[in-house]
Structure 1
């Protein structure tokens, strides 16, 4: 789409140059200058530009642009007729220049050709053998050069403005995608951290309620364990906030899994056992965190949904990559029950270059398997 007036200074500069040359020719007695008509025409052109900019500050509509262009051409002819210096013919380079912004390249080039033809016809009327006069031929060639430069300048200005608009749109899109990715990451962190601990707290409080009248000691221990789980949740939230500020903080999967499994020994759910094999050094932090979140989600689902009595978490590392398995002896897994937690886990693993497999374990229960190929740690 054509763009209106990206270089509004061109016309005033040309008007000023023509005015100075015409007044000098008049004062020096060169040619036949009519100062009133000459200066009045330039003043009318300046007023026309100001009126257009005030009336259409962004872009002139098509039909008003046609009327304004016709008015400018009429004023160019009047000024050129009243100018004894002959420099006013340069005003006609503004015809294709202005038309480029309002109507596009094809119309601008056609008008440039028309301006050349008009100037040549005017020269032929004044002198049938104008083509034999080197001065007139030189003037025509210089006018052609001016038209080419004017159209080129307009094209460059339009493309530069369009490129800026596309860059701004691309920048906004990148910012939007980055914000969306960050929101998804924070959402996964909130679900993985708080969801796990809140599940444990709910189980413990249900246990305390069930044993309140039967065994007050067991109920008190359940309440204390729920209190401890709430504290761990608060610690995890603080750690997540620190992680948002310090993405390069060191992360040890073995230590994190050990703490995770130790936090399950509160008597309020299935027994959780950890097996760890291989060396995690050399695996990138994104993969290690994805494995930890997968283990956390697997344990949470076993406690919340599977009614399992035992959960085995095994992590193994070798030269090919890392593998995490969370297996329980509960009532199995139904694919239609997959919720936001498993979706977030899959997103984390995919971002780390791995894959997730969930299904029934041999002999019953659920088996969650996460495999991530080895990548060099940054």
Structure 2
């Protein structure tokens, strides 16, 4: 008896669809255990119970008893295989409970009618109950099956003899079915949990991949903005100064050839410096820009601005010291952009350029002109680029202006 029930358990756990968790929670999907192996094992157990009852002399002597038991066995086998399969496929937990209930009734009737010789059918009921019910419900099914078997054995022998037979012939088999069905069910649950974890890991991996793609897009956008700032602040500055020098040369070519030649010479020099600046920007983008003292670089900017027609004075306060390359480059670009704006838009005649090295370690750059100023300065690409550069190194940018009061920017790095 126990070997047939064990075959049902093994085939059920290894069924073709292991999805779902039996007997855990009504909210979980209905487990699917019915497969080819399950069907063979279930039918074999049913036939074994029927054969044992049919071949025992005097058990089914009443007219029609054998035919009735045969009909019950056929219905039992069809319901436990095809009926349970349909309920599992539809995901109907009520359908599974209904099938299990009818199986229990048929098994009990067959066992009582055969005086216990068809009790193997009850073992199949216990196995299905353990697979599809919770621990308490399956224990209840097991106790009910044992009670039915005891009553059936008591119908042919004394109570004491029935107890002995129930213990030896049925109790050991039902205990085996219950215990090993629970073990197999725990393994089934563990496999289901592993599948769930694999699915969660796959979903997490997909999210990480999407985040990596998004991070790459952000990095590309940041790199484009960085290149745009370099072109605007570097090359744009030199083109502006060259343009002013060429305008001066054209306007003085007829009246003052020497001054025009000086402007052209200066334009050529600025063009060369612009090419050097482009090379330096490319090197910086590659992470290999050569170091250049900040005070020296700001002095060259002040000289260029003065040569372009806007008197620019550089004032250095505190003890000059070398700063981190990103900090020096940000301060240099801010001064360069501010001087370019003073020549282009401010119509300024004087610019004060101040670099302050504070004792606290902070560094402050201030560029102020005496131009027309602005009531509500729009933050164009130049100012936006300065602010972005300042934020990257942890600094702040302040803008001060008013109509006819000039324009000033102050960048401070703590």
Matched, 1:275 2:315: yes
Q: How far apart, CA to CA, are the structure 1 residues paired with 2:375 and 2:236?
A: 20
| Residue correspondences, number | 290
Q: How much has 1:199 moved relative to structure 2?
A: 0.7
**Structure 1 equivalent of residue 191 of structure 2:** 150
Match among 352, 357, 360 for residue 312 of structure 1: 352
Q: Is the 8 A contact 1:332 1:366 kept in 2?
A: yes
- In structure 2, the residue matched to 1:354 is 395
Q: How far apart are residue 164 of structure 1 and its match? A: 0.7
Q: Please report how far the alpha carbon of residue 298 of structure 1 lies from its aligned counterpart in structure 2 after TM superposition.
A: 1.0
Q: For each residue in 1:3-51, what CA deviation from the matched residue of structure 2 results, as whole angstroms up to 9, or x when unmatched?
A: xxxxxxxxxxxxxxxxxxxxxxxxxxx97xxxxxxxxxxxxx7xx9xxx
Instruction: Give me the whole-angstrom Cα distance separating, in 1, the residues matched to 2:303 and 2:41.
Output: 94
Aligned partner of 1:125 among 121, 128, 143: 121
Please state whether the residue corresponding to 2:197 is helix, strand or coil: helix
Counterpart contact for 2:370–2:406, Cα < 8 Å: yes
> Counterpart of 1:214?
255
- Report the aligned-residue RMSD: 3.9
Per-residue displacement from partner, 1:273-324 (whole Å, max 9, x unpaired)?
1111223436433332222111111110111111222211110011331111
Structure 1 residue 330 corresponds to structure 2 residue 371: yes
Determine which structure has more spread, i.e. the larger CA radius of gyration: 2
> Is this contact kept in 1: 2:352–2:369, CA < 8 A?
yes
2:281/2:289 contact within 8 Å kept: no
Q: TM-score, normalised by structure 1?
A: 0.65
1:326 Cα offset (Å): 0.9
Partner of 2:12: none
**CA–CA distance in structure 1, aligned partners of residues 171 and 225 of structure 2:** 74
Alignment of 1:183 with 2:224, yes or no, is yes
1:188 deviation in Å? 0.9
Q: 1:171 to 1:279 in 2, by over 3 A?
A: farther
Equivalent in the alignment of 2:200: 159
Q: Does 1:196 align with 2:237?
A: yes
Asked whether the 8 Å contact 2:374–2:402 carries over to 1, the reply is no
CA distance in 2, matches of 1:157, 1:78: 30
User: What are the Cα deviations for residues 157-184 of structure 1, in whole angstroms up to 9, with x where unaligned?
Assistant: 1111111111111211222222222221
The yes-or-no answer on 1:264 pairing with 2:310 is: no
Query: Closer, same or farther in 2 for the Cα pair 1:169/1:79, shift >3 Å?
Result: farther
CA contact (8 A) 2:372 2:404 kept: no
Deviation string for 1:71-121 (max 9, x for gaps)? x8454543544789xxxxxxx9xx9xxx9xxx9xxx79x79x98xx79x96
Alpha-carbon deviation of 1:349?
1.2
1:135 to 1:364, Cα distance in 2 relative to 1, 3 A: closer
Q: Is it true that 1:343 corresponds to 2:391 in the alignment? A: no
Q: Mark the CA change 1:75 to 1:243 in structure 2 (over 3 Å): closer, same or farther.
A: same
With normalisation by structure 2, the TM-score equals 0.60
Instruction: Give, in whole Å, the separation in 2 of the partners of 1:365 and 1:298.
Output: 12
CA contact (8 A) 1:333 1:359 kept: no
Distance 1:157 1:255, change over 3 A: same
Matched-pair contact (CA < 8 Å) for 1:260–1:296: yes
Equivalent residue runs for 1:1-378 within 5 Å: 73=34, 75=36, 77-81=38-42, 125-127=121-123, 128-129=145-146, 132-133=172-173, 134-246=175-287, 250-266=291-307, 268-281=308-321, 283-320=323-360, 321-360=362-401, 364-373=405-414
Going from structure 1 to structure 2, the CA distance change for 1:249 and 1:79 (only over 3 Å counts) comes to farther
Q: Report the CA distance shift for 1:251/1:78 in structure 2 as closer, same or farther (over 3 A).
A: farther
- Structure 1 residue runs of 5 or longer lacking an equivalent are 1-29, 32-44, 49-65, 85-91, 374-378
Tell me: CA distance 1:135–1:258, structure 2 relative to 1, closer, same or farther (3 Å): same
Cα distance change, pair 124–362 in 1 and its aligned pair in 2 (3 A): same
Are the aligned partners of 1:361 and 1:367 in contact in 2 as well (CA < 8 Å)? no
What SS does the corresponding residue of 2:305 show, helix, strand or coil?
coil
C-alpha distance in structure 1 between counterparts of 2:392 and 2:232, whole Å: 17
